[in-house]
């Protein structure tokens, strides 16, 4: 069994208990990680607290050097890291390499650069000198769907800011967190600056969120667990950052390039087997183009080869677990019960072994249906018609409790931007604009609080102090 990373050393958990790690493509046991205990959280927080004065006083550029060294190792070992991700959570190897490994390596490198360019302490406002200081000890709680990226989005800016960290990776796909902690150890991050306790959310996550010596908790995961984290953190008035679920809309306006828009929407909905918080899982199309859009979506879905993450032709790997697969299948059944029409996929098992689900498209989806409102977190796209005009499309797009991402497709950039401005959501792709890992990412409404990535992500981990001169 693996060990926890506490105060710069690998140590056995006080609990002695373990969590099985299963390969979702083969359903085989591949590893065991510690099911940590509250005593482990105590040790981790104490180490982080003890290391804080030294780390926060280290020059930002010195902190940046260690981050850059870790980013370099992630790059060098991209193949090994991507294999861990694919085996642990099922992403096809190509995706695991580019999006799940090289992108987070780039994000880490971007925080190394920001330590040199960010203005931590020269801002003046009249007679005041404004300092940006690290918020303190940060608890970072992360999910399984982009397991390395989600960690780097917290640990990168927190360490760059001068905070120390207690990390709790997802128990569902924890292995890459162990690799990352190993890399930070190898590059010489001082003991206590990063500590990692694996284990169950209600035990480790809650102990971190409630701990009086943790100054901030940054959580990525479900809205349900995020609510619990925020409630616990409120007791000690911690700073809270939440990156939660989504049900994002791709709004296609008349005059847009329909073929491009549908193809891109299907790809966005299905990437990572639909296990993407920002996925465009609702495609909103004018009634006049609806039948054509549905046919194009069904055709696009049919091109998705479901298979082993290491087969070259695979575009859709398994879902992460049996629990997740069963949840998605329940939603597909629910959609049919609600009267939506399956035009691709369904509940059949595509392969005998592994937690696979067919790439699925529903037509005839009406606003308010469960499959239109709730995050499914599987390869399921809902195509929703609108009849009246732009206002109706915007109202459907804004009509869920979420607001994480989205897309607008129109005949011109100006028209797309004017609709994008009306969407209550944190990111919008304009006519297929590409994801930018330096731009702020985060949610409106119940998709969260705060922003990750780039400078906005760094500022989440900074306090502000005014000195009146
Ligand atoms: P989850 O909420 O079950 O778990 C996320 C993390 O929280 C895990 O480490 C888990 O152990 C921990 N946790 C669970 N219960 C907890 C509790 N009571 N107290 C403290 N911690 C607890 O989510 P998941 O299934 O791992 O991930 C899928 C969800 O994450 C989806 O809803 C998805 O939309 C969301 N997500 C959001 C973003 C984003 O940036 N907005 C990114 C990725 C995933």
Q: Answer yes or no: is pLDDT of 114 > 90.
A: yes
What 25-29 contacts at long range (C-beta under 8 Å, 24+ apart), as own/partner pairs, is 25/87, 25/90, 25/308, 25/309, 25/317, 25/318, 25/353, 25/354, 26/353, 26/354, 27/322, 27/353, 27/354, 27/355
Name the residue at shortest CA distance from atom 9 of ligand 1.
170
Q: Quick check: 72 pLDDT over 90?
A: yes
Whole-number Cα distances in Å, 132 to 124, 411, 464: 12, 44, 5
- Rounded to a whole number of angstroms, the distance between the first and last alpha carbons of the chain is 56
What's the pLDDT tens digit per position in 342-367?
Answer: 999 999 999 999 999 999 999 999 99
Catalytic position from the list 243, 358, 375, 460: 243
Q: pLDDT (tens digit, 9 = 90+) per residue, 383-424?
A: 999 999 999 999 999 999 999 999 999 999 999 999 999 999
Residue ID of nearest Cα to ligand 1 atom 34: 245
What's the pLDDT band for 340 if we cut at 50, 70, 90?
very high
Q: Is 241 in the pocket of ligand 1 (CB under 6 A)?
A: no
Give 257-303 pLDDT, tens digit per residue.
Answer: 999 999 999 999 999 999 999 999 999 999 999 999 999 999 999 99
Taking only the tens place, the pLDDT of each residue in 147-171 is 999 999 999 999 999 999 999 999 9
Q: pTM, whole model, 2 decimals?
A: 0.98
Provide the percentage of residues in the chain whose pLDDT is more than 70: 100
CB atoms within 10 A of CB 124: 10
Q: Which residue has the tokens 């609709």?
A: 419
What per-residue string of b and e applies to 85-113 under the rule 16 or more CB within 10 Å gives b?
Answer: bbbbbbbbbebbbebbbbbbbebbbbbbe
What is the tens place of the pLDDT at every residue in 15-51?
A: 999 999 999 999 999 999 999 999 999 999 999 999 9
Q: For position 122, what pLDDT does the model report?
A: 85
For range 105-115, the mean pLDDT: 98
- pLDDT tens for each residue of 419-449: 999 999 999 999 999 999 999 999 999 999 9
The span from the CA of 310 to the CA of 318, in Å, is 11
Q: Is 375 marked active-site?
A: no
Tokens found for residue 353: 């072994």
> Atom 18 in ligand 1: which residue has the minimum CA distance?
202
Rounded Cα–Cα distance for residues 27 and 323 (Å): 12
Within a 13 Å sphere around the CA of 227, how many CA atoms are in the beta-carbon half? 6
Q: How far is the CA of 181 from the centre of ligand 1 (A)?
A: 20
> 3-class DSSP state for residue 391?
helix
Q: What gap in Å lies between CA 18 and CA 89, rounded to an integer?
A: 18
* Whether 388 contacts 367, CB under 8 Å: no
User: Tens digits of per-residue pLDDT, 157-211?
Assistant: 999 999 999 999 999 999 999 999 999 999 999 999 999 999 999 999 999 999 9
pLDDT number for residue 27: 98
Model confidence at 1, pLDDT cuts 50, 70, 90, reads confident
Instruction: Specify the residue for token string 């294999």.
Output: 83
Q: How far apart are CA 340 and CA 333, in angstroms?
A: 10
Q: What residue's CA is closest to ligand 1, atom 32?
A: 222
> Would you say the CB of residue 225 lies under 6 angstroms from ligand 1?
yes
CA 145 to ligand 1 center in whole angstroms: 9
Average pLDDT over residues 315-335: 98
Per-residue pLDDT, 128: 98
**Strand pairing category for 137-141 and 128-134:** unpaired
**What's the CA gap between 318 and 274, in Å, rounded?**
10
Task: Decide: 207 in ligand 1 pocket, CB within 6 A.
Answer: no
pLDDT > 90? residue 225:
yes
């Amino acid at each position: 069994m693996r060990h926890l990373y506490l105060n710069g050393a690998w140590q056995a958990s006080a609990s002695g208990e373990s969590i099985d790690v299963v390969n979702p493509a083969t359903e085989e046991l591949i590893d065991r990680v510690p099911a940590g205990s509250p005593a482990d959280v105590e040790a981790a927080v104490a180490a982080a607290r003890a290391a804080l004065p030294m780390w926060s006083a280290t020059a930002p550029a010195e902190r940046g050097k260690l981050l850059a060294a870790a980013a370099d190792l992630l790059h060098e070992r991209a193949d090994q890291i991507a294999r861990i991700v694919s085996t642990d959570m099922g992403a096809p190897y190509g995706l695991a390499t580019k999006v799940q490994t090289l992108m987070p390596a780039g994000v880490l490198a971007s925080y190394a650069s920001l330590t040199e360019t960010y203005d931590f302490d020269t801002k003046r406002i009249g007679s005041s000198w404004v300092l940006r200081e690290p918020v303190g000890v940060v608890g970072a709680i992360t999910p399984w769907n982009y397991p390395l990226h989600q960690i780097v989005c917290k640990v990168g800016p927190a360490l760059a800011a001068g905070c120390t960290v207690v990390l709790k990776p997802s128990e569902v796909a924890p292995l890459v967190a162990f690799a990352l902690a190993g890399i930070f150890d190898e590059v010489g991050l001082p003991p206590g600056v990063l500590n990692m306790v694996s284990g169950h959310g209600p035990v480790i996550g809650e102990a971190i969120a409630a701990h009086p010596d943790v100054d901030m908790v940054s959580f990525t995961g479900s809205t349900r667990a995020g609510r619990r984290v925020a409630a616990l953190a409120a007791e000690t008035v911690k700073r809270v950052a939440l990156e939660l679920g989504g049900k994002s809309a791709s709004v296609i306006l008349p005059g847009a390039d329909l073929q491009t828009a549908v193809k891109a929407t299907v790809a966005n909905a299905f990437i990572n087997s639909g296990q993407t918080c920002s996925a465009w899982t609702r495609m909103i199309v004018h009634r006049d183009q609806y039948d054509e859009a549905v046919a194009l979506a069904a055709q696009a879905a049919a091109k998705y080869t479901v298979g082993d993450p290491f087969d070259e032709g695979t575009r859709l790997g398994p879902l992460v677990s049996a629990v997740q697969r069963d949840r998605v299948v329940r939603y597909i059944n629910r959609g049919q019960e609600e009267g939506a029409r399956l035009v691709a996929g369904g509940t059949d098992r595509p392969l005998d072994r592994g937690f696979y689900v067919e790439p699925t498209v529903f037509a005839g989806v009406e606003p308010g249906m469960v499959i239109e409102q709730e995050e499914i977190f599987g390869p399921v796209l809902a195509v929703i018609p609108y009849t009246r005009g732009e206002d109706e499309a915007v109202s459907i797009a804004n009509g869920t409790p979420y607001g994480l991402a989205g897309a607008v497709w129109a005949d011109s950039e100006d028209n797309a931007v004017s609709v994008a401005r009306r969407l209550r959501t944190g990111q919008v792709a304009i006519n297929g604009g590409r994801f930018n890992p330096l731009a702020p990412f985060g949610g409106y409404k119940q998709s969260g609080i705060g922003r990750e990535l780039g400078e906005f992500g760094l500022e989440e981990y900074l306090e502000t102090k005014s000195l009146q001169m």
